[in-house]
Amino acid sequence: MKKHIYFFGKDMTEGDRSMKNILGGKGANLAEMTRIGIPVPPGFTISTEVCQEYYQNQNRIPQSLIEEINRNIRKLEELMNRRFGNPEKPLLLSVRSGAARSMPGMMDTVLNLGINPEVVDGLSRLSGNRRFALDVYRRFMQMFGDVVMGIDHELYEKALQKIKDENGYRLDTELTENDLQTLIDRYLKIYQAETHSDFPVDPMEQLLRAIEAVLASWNNPRAVKYRELNDIRGLIGTAVNIQTMVYGNLGESSGTGVAFTRNPATGEDVLYGEYLMNAQGEDVVAGIRTPMPIEELKTNSEMIYNQLQDIRTKLEEHYREMQDLEFTIQEGTLYILQTRDGKRTAYAAVTIAVDMVNQGLISREEALMRIDAKSLNQLLLPVFDESEEKKARVLTTGLPASPGAASGKIMFTAEDAENYILKQKENPAIQPEPVIMVRIETSPEDIGGMAVSSGILTARGGMTSHAAVVARGMGICCIAGAGDVRVDYHAKQMHIGSSILNEGDWISLNGTLGTVYAGRISSRPPELTGAFQKLMEWADEYRRLKIRTNADTPRDTAIAVNFGAEGIGLCRTEHMFFEGERVVSFRRLILVAERVKQLRAEMEKTINASERLKLENKLKVPLAQYNQALAELLPVQRSDFISIFKALKGRPATIRTLDPPLHEFLPKELDGQKEMSHAMDIPLGEIQEMVESLSEANPMLGHRGCRLGITYPEVTAMQVRAIIEAGLEVHAQDIKVNPEIMIPLVGHKQELKLQRDLTEKTIRDICLERKLDRVPFNILIGTMIEVPRAALTANEIAEHADFFSFGTNDLTQMGCGFSRDDAGRFLNDYVKLGIYEYDPFQVLDQDGIGLLVRLAVEKGRKEKPSLKIGICGEHGGEPRSIQFCHRTGLDYVSCSPFRVPVARLAAAQAAIKENVNE
Amino acid sequence: MKKHIYFFGKDMTEGDRSMKNILGGKGANLAEMTRIGIPVPPGFTISTEVCQEYYQNQNRIPQSLIEEINRNIRKLEELMNRRFGNPEKPLLLSVRSGAARSMPGMMDTVLNLGINPEVVDGLSRLSGNRRFALDVYRRFMQMFGDVVMGIDHELYEKALQKIKDENGYRLDTELTENDLQTLIDRYLKIYQAETHSDFPVDPMEQLLRAIEAVLASWNNPRAVKYRELNDIRGLIGTAVNIQTMVYGNLGESSGTGVAFTRNPATGEDVLYGEYLMNAQGEDVVAGIRTPMPIEELKTNSEMIYNQLQDIRTKLEEHYREMQDLEFTIQEGTLYILQTRDGKRTAYAAVTIAVDMVNQGLISREEALMRIDAKSLNQLLLPVFDESEEKKARVLTTGLPASPGAASGKIMFTAEDAENYILKQKENPAIQPEPVIMVRIETSPEDIGGMAVSSGILTARGGMTSHAAVVARGMGICCIAGAGDVRVDYHAKQMHIGSSILNEGDWISLNGTLGTVYAGRISSRPPELTGAFQKLMEWADEYRRLKIRTNADTPRDTAIAVNFGAEGIGLCRTEHMFFEGERVVSFRRLILVAERVKQLRAEMEKTINASERLKLENKLKVPLAQYNQALAELLPVQRSDFISIFKALKGRPATIRTLDPPLHEFLPKELDGQKEMSHAMDIPLGEIQEMVESLSEANPMLGHRGCRLGITYPEVTAMQVRAIIEAGLEVHAQDIKVNPEIMIPLVGHKQELKLQRDLTEKTIRDICLERKLDRVPFNILIGTMIEVPRAALTANEIAEHADFFSFGTNDLTQMGCGFSRDDAGRFLNDYVKLGIYEYDPFQVLDQDGIGLLVRLAVEKGRKEKPSLKIGICGEHGGEPRSIQFCHRTGLDYVSCSPFRVPVARLAAAQAAIKENVNE
């Protein structure tokens, strides 16, 4: 028969840390700690396979398991010299969930199992503390009712509040033995009323039902949601840890706490944590009482503190990772209840990894592999503009629970926050406004709202409260335990001192300092320094892929170069047309270009010579206007390119010619059309007609990309001229330039050939005008590979291309056949149903679109071995996709400026992985 | 030096019929006829290479050519014993264009070159007919002015009309010598006024300028348009034929005519043609005088008639093809001026090909290869419902110039016809209404209008008039020379007897009989009989591809089976939802499906148990409505399938589950929304909200195809149930059924797997309900391959598919990245610029999309050798694409019912070509 249970306890430990998959992280580490001599209350772990069986077995515990549980209880009783359910020497147990990957607070826990009125009496005698025994029973009843029986926990809390109110108490600790006895009686009534049955007194019944509750909690909606949000996949279920209870609430020499072997916010190499004396563990985690910093423990009990320090060192040397511990002090004796790799901010992760290399604990490769590349984004969250921050009005300060800086509009519930963000997403025209969620404290139900918030502020809770832990995990700025804040959910208001802030008011949080400001503060990009810089240097040593950036402005270019970008992989010239006065020139161009095109087409069809002459005359005015608009745009484009070339200082710049359909430049709403009519002195009707005539059934598959350049070759020529003239000007200032002209949306080699010919002709024209033999810098001409047909015929296209750049956004849209704008209606279902493992717009679909990429690389390089190949879709900043690019032999990836460090690390990780696999 | 000129004349002929590319069709055949002893006036041909040089040489004739012309003129003078420009023995010449492929009337011709006042005198003496000589000069002046100098021909016609009016003449032949002299003087004035120069008298100048005019006419807009419309490509230019003039207008023993060696309308094996005595060739072709049937010639001159019959036999035996001749009788002597393969109706083509096989002239393979598969469409034009036609009011009759039957709205100009059709195309919602173009006579300028018309009616002109020839070429029904018809272009009216018909009125033409009816007559599909049936039988012997049809109704199915379809390749079930009452049920389904989906999604996100309960209650009503709507649709779908299975009698039927996005079923216009609101008793606002919420940015890439089946599995299940239940019912009636269930828009194997699992489960459910072990007929489950990703991962998809069917419409849209609805803005330019050789929606893009098809076939068959593979995009009925399907090893093509014979022939041609190449 298969082994379902693994015991842990002095010299009898069956598991170890390698068995996470079947013992869960918690169970495996309890066993491991026991093995290396850390004081752990003994117990046993029911394997995750049982959870799988439970679900396969119509949610029933297999009979054989019950016998195995019984055998292990006996073992435990012997080891502890106590008996489960025996009033004389009662053994009390905790039942905790624990999957192979940590999901804090998501699944169920039941403490103090094995207690009943008789055991209360025995426990009173043994501890000499009847109040304690009654409190244990009361807590157990409440937890069992809530967790196992699903009774609304508010019923218990109301009863507790009521007895406090009746006696005028403020704290639970003021309750007397009699109060507790009354409360127990009231709890019993609640239980009976809600379940129509008596509260179970049989310890074995308590245990089995608690185990079932833990198993069932694996698939509760919030656990499922958590796994979804945190991308946790492939686990078979949770293990169940049954462990001897120890008590931190046995008086002032008892206590409980959590600790990190290093600072999880900064990475600093010190013991870090919080504790509460005379409290049970749940009191700390739930954030209900604000705990003390761990350094205070030195004053409180130096011995325990030193013991913790020793354990810290032992664990770090053993695990070679920063650990997150839970401990309980029972009447002066320290017990470790849990250890696991500590969650940390990305900042801390980087600091710890670099420190551990310096301390000889791990290698550089290990350090690089240990950082979640995606998480580096967090280090690149903007920081507040210092001068503005100095001038801002400080409302209060709280604990710096998760670093970063955020301004946003106040929302008081997760639902409000989610709805607010959702509403904005539905209307892409409006400038998006971030949300700061303000709560008294957060609970697992708030996860959805936290995920969409830019910052979180709580009135209660410490550095390890729910809000703090989750915010750090998500990389969201958080200030916790800001005690001055009084929240009135009903009025949707908060009071801080004399200030009243309403829903929708702006506040700003500096999560690194813990400062809360009134109003909005501008932010600026951060710098790469210290450990982060070191890590990036190591990454650069390992990676083979070059990293470029997608940038359209000198500002973005400078930011990206600062983050290590080695050039621009995508400069979208159309963004340059949207700004200020230019849009007027560009709209004029659109209006007349269409007219010119129509007249030219008419002329082509006209046989009659006098008709042709008439048309030629008709063409004169619009043609002049067309050329005029082009002439207006040329200098502004040129000056844009000049600034960008200067910012790049010789690094290559891939500049894409006009891409979006022309109707995107025209206002869709009446107000905008009226404004345009006024600004351009053109009748409204004419503008509306143009908007109508340019509108498309499927703009994604419409008149855009090089198709524009082919029907309006003058626009391409103007853009090429702007690039070359800018290059010449910058080159004359002794700054190197390295432009790469990129033709978008090519599907057929002839398209590229026509645009290339036009480009080369324009360059020759400029040389003739300026009496140059040739342009004195290198110019590449290449294309996006973003239409499936282009990938399929990459060999033919390579004939006319110096480089390829994969536009994987469009390649995904066309290759998978779904538009990003519309896929929302089904793509979530698709990911949920496992059709696509990840949203293919987030993570490159390697099995499908990846085939097109591989095919194009292969065919392109076969035709032209020197072909330079990169990627400039958003996948270029996504670590899994970057690994794919590395494996596929691309030369570079290009991503948004803030993703450049992510890409540097991911590229290094890809190279290291490859070496490992070789 | 390169040879530019090829002489033809007794024993001195330099060219032959194999030299079409450089001599043009006309020149090559003049040489060939001379070689085989047919009486041809001698002359010489300037090669097409000269035309190419002319365009390369800034539209100038090379000097060397002039010398070569001079040498050949000398040769001709010797052979004819006449001298060019010599009044004593004048040699007059014609200059005619002639490309490698015939373009009747598209390029320029100048007759009677070498005449001037002195030559007129000489010609008068020689012919003893001064009036004739003056008429020759008058004609030459008019033609030269119009064709060479571009003078508006109306100026000449007005002058001609004026002199007739002054003298009260009706016919040109009434003009006296004096009148002609006056007219010549007036023509000279017109020439001087328009060109500010004197009319050229030097014969060599006349000749060179005429040659230039012919060369220039190669690229005149109407010639370019003709090549475009007739898909004539790859020619380098026109040849120029300079030939000794012969005269059909030398009195009553002279004449001119055109003849076909077989009837070009019916294919009947008789000499067929028309002639006019005392006339020049242009008089016949232009359709100005109505000529006599060729049989009359027997009475007129039996010798000439018999000579023509001999020539007919000689030419057919020599060319093994039906020939189209031009002849002139000069004072009792017959000359053949041209022969070429005769244009014919598709009906005639089939008859001739089959007859020629029976006569031992050609082989079956040749017969099959000789028919343009596309042209068979013409044989499948509907014919009038006989009972309706009997009752219809006959307006008049004319010549049955091109067979077929058409009803349509009267338009009097090409432009009106084009605009009317264009306007309709822009609004796909309205039921399209065909056009009948009515003209006094047509001219090459009318080609665009003729191409969009369903029928053509002319008041003047014979069976070989411009209207007749072009209509037959285009396969458009035409009645010519309907003399009762009086057209008033100005009033946009026509009078037939006492009837007045206006623009926009309906008329009907029976082009096979020549009958014109008032009003509209219903039509029905034709039958395959006689030669056509025989040809199809031969095709079936050769072809390897199976031919299926795209049909959604029992009626279409029956038509297609009648045309030889071997099954249904695509049955679009959504068309079934649009009819009558069903659309109400389906719209109800859409409205509640969305609500059900929303509530289910909300439930999934809700953690709180009581909230869930609330949602469950909320869900009850819409869920009941959803099921109700499905229950309403099930029986109607079932009965549709029953009729289709019965019509197929055991032939396979590929039935596609719901494909289009749901918003297509909702009315977009306010009126329709109001109607829907009224019919369904739902507030208008709610309907508008639904329309709004379902609208998509790129519907082509939106929530459609199997994506619907995945989010609304109940709909797929209902459709599968309808198919299987229908199959069981038909099977119980001892009729075989062979359903193939096809899942659309699959891009990922998981999509197909989910829909297949659902389909199989539904089938099992039906078996359980009916206590069947299994369904008693074979069911295949397969998928469309229409998303590029599906083609790329065809091996994975084949795991779950019994068959593939290429949806090449969507595959083209997604693979090339352009939407059919929007590509109009650039695709014409693309074809014109040669980026794509053909519109890829018309002819499969073999180099690009074809790669995807080949890849999918290869990968699919590798995974599953038994995989059945077909194509059901519109390319399935296009001959070039069918050849590709054959070469790629597909099992079948599926096309619209009326294209089935086209496909049968094209499939045979593909197989024959393959054998030839082997």
Determine the pLDDT at residue B286: 55
Q: What's the average model confidence in pLDDT over A91-105?
A: 88
DSSP secondary structure of B292-357: EETTHHHHH-HHHHHHHHHHHHHHHHHHSS-EEEEEEEETTEEEEEEEEEPP--HHHHHHHHHHHH
Look at B814 and A814 and tell me if their CB atoms are within 8 Å: yes
Q: What is the pLDDT of residues A576-610, one digit of tens each?
A: 787 667 888 888 898 888 788 888 877 776 656 67
Determine the pLDDT at residue A428: 57
B427 touching A (Cβ < 8 Å):
no
- Say how far apart CA B280 and CA B290 lie, in whole Å: 13
Residues in chain B with CB shorter than 8 Å from the CB of A605 are 221, 225, 448
Both tokens of B173, joined, read 């032949």
Look at B701 and A822 and tell me if their CB atoms are within 8 Å: yes
* Cβ-Cβ contacts under 8 Å for A264 (sequence gap 6 or more): A272, A322, A324, A342, A343, A344, A345, A348, A472
Residue B112, classed as helix, strand or coil, is strand
Nearest CA in chain B to A228: B605
Q: Establish how many alpha carbons lie within 13 A of residue B895's alpha carbon, considering only the half-sphere containing its beta carbon.
A: 29
Residue B275, classed as helix, strand or coil, is strand
Pairing of strands B477-480, B272-277: unpaired
Both tokens of A797, joined, read 């296209």
Residues in chain B with CB shorter than 8 Å from the CB of A711 are 825-826, 829
Q: What is the pLDDT of residues A170-217, one digit of tens each?
A: 878 789 999 999 999 999 999 999 999 999 999 999 999 999 999 998
- Residue A496, Cα to own-chain centre: how many angstroms? 31
Look at B821 and A754 and tell me if their CB atoms are within 8 Å: no
For residue A886, indicate whether it is catalytic.
no
pTM greater than 0.90: no
DSSP secondary structure of A468-499: HHHHHHHT-EEEE--TTEEEETTTTEEEETTE
Question: Of chain A residues 844-883, which have a CB less than 8 A from chain B?
Answer: 845, 847-849, 851-852
Determine the pLDDT at residue A494: 93
Nearest CA in chain B to A446: B607
Closest CA to B823 of A881, A266, A710: A710
Look at B817 and A830 and tell me if their CB atoms are within 8 Å: no
Q: What's the average model confidence in pLDDT over A334-353?
A: 92
Q: What is the pLDDT of residues A60-90, one digit of tens each?
A: 888 889 999 999 999 999 999 999 999 989 9
CB atoms within 10 A of CB A360: 7
Look at B821 and A696 and tell me if their CB atoms are within 8 Å: yes
Give pLDDT < 70 ranges for chain B: 1, 281-289, 426-430, 473, 579-580, 605-609, 917-918
Look at B821 and A222 and tell me if their CB atoms are within 8 Å: no
Determine the pLDDT at residue A627: 94
A466, A663, A875, A886: which is the annotated catalytic residue?
A: A466
- Picking from A146, A151, A789 by the largest number of B CB atoms within 10 A of its own CB, the best residue to mutate is A789
Q: Which residue has the higher pLDDT, A497 or B92?
A: B92
Nearest CA in chain A to B852: A792
Determine the pLDDT at residue B260: 95
Q: What's the average model confidence in pLDDT over A477-494?
A: 90
- Residue B387, Cα to own-chain centre: how many angstroms? 29
Both tokens of A449, joined, read 């709202």
Determine the pLDDT at residue A462: 76
Nearest CA in chain A to B829: A711
> How far apart are the CA of B739 and the nearest CA of chain A, in angstroms?
27
* Edge-to-edge strand ranges of the sheet holding B455-458: B394-397, B515-518, B506-510, B405-411, B435-439, B455-458, B477-480, B399-402
Look at A697 and B822 and tell me if their CB atoms are within 8 Å: yes
Q: Inform me whether the pLDDT recorded for A648 exceeds 80.
A: yes
Q: Which residues of B are catalytic?
A: 466, 872
Nearest CA in chain A to B445: A607
Residues in chain B with CB shorter than 8 Å from the CB of A414 are none
B225 touching A (Cβ < 8 Å):
yes
Rounded to 5 degrees, what angle do the CA atoms A534, A540, A541 make?
Answer: 95
Which backbone phi and psi does A455 adopt, to 5 degrees?
Answer: -160, 160
Residues in chain A with CB shorter than 8 Å from the CB of B225 are 605, 607
Determine the pLDDT at residue A427: 64
Determine the pLDDT at residue B369: 96
Determine the pLDDT at residue A287: 55
Q: Between A and B, how many CB-CB pairs are < 8 A?
A: 196
Determine the pLDDT at residue A609: 65
Both tokens of A23, joined, read 């013992």
Look at B852 and A707 and tell me if their CB atoms are within 8 Å: no
Nearest CA in chain A to B750: A835
Q: What's the average model confidence in pLDDT over A136-141?
A: 94
3-state secondary structure B21-58: HHHHHHHHHHHHHHHCCCCCCCEEEECHHHHHHHHHCC
A615 touching B (Cβ < 8 Å):
no
A872, A875, A885, A895: which is the annotated catalytic residue?
A: A872
A829 touching B (Cβ < 8 Å):
yes
Q: What is the pLDDT of residues A741-754, one digit of tens each?
A: 999 999 999 999 99
Q: What's the average model confidence in pLDDT over A308-324?
A: 96
- Say how far apart CA A436 and CA A409 lie, in whole Å: 6
- Picking from B426, B825, B836 by the largest number of A CB atoms within 10 A of its own CB, the best residue to mutate is B825
Look at A814 and B818 and tell me if their CB atoms are within 8 Å: no
Q: Which residue do the tokens 């869709």 mark?
A: A668
Determine the pLDDT at residue B427: 63
- Residue B845, Cα to own-chain centre: how many angstroms? 20
Determine the pLDDT at residue B323: 96
Determine the pLDDT at residue A473: 67
Determine the pLDDT at residue A580: 66
- Say how far apart CA A853 and CA A871 lie, in whole Å: 10
Strand ranges, E, within B440-581: 455-458, 477-480, 485-488, 493-496, 499-502, 506-510, 515-518, 523-524, 546-550, 568-572
Look at B747 and A702 and tell me if their CB atoms are within 8 Å: no
Residues in chain A with CB shorter than 8 Å from the CB of B853 are none
Q: Which of A221, A747, A813 sits opposite B701 (nearest CB)?
A: A813
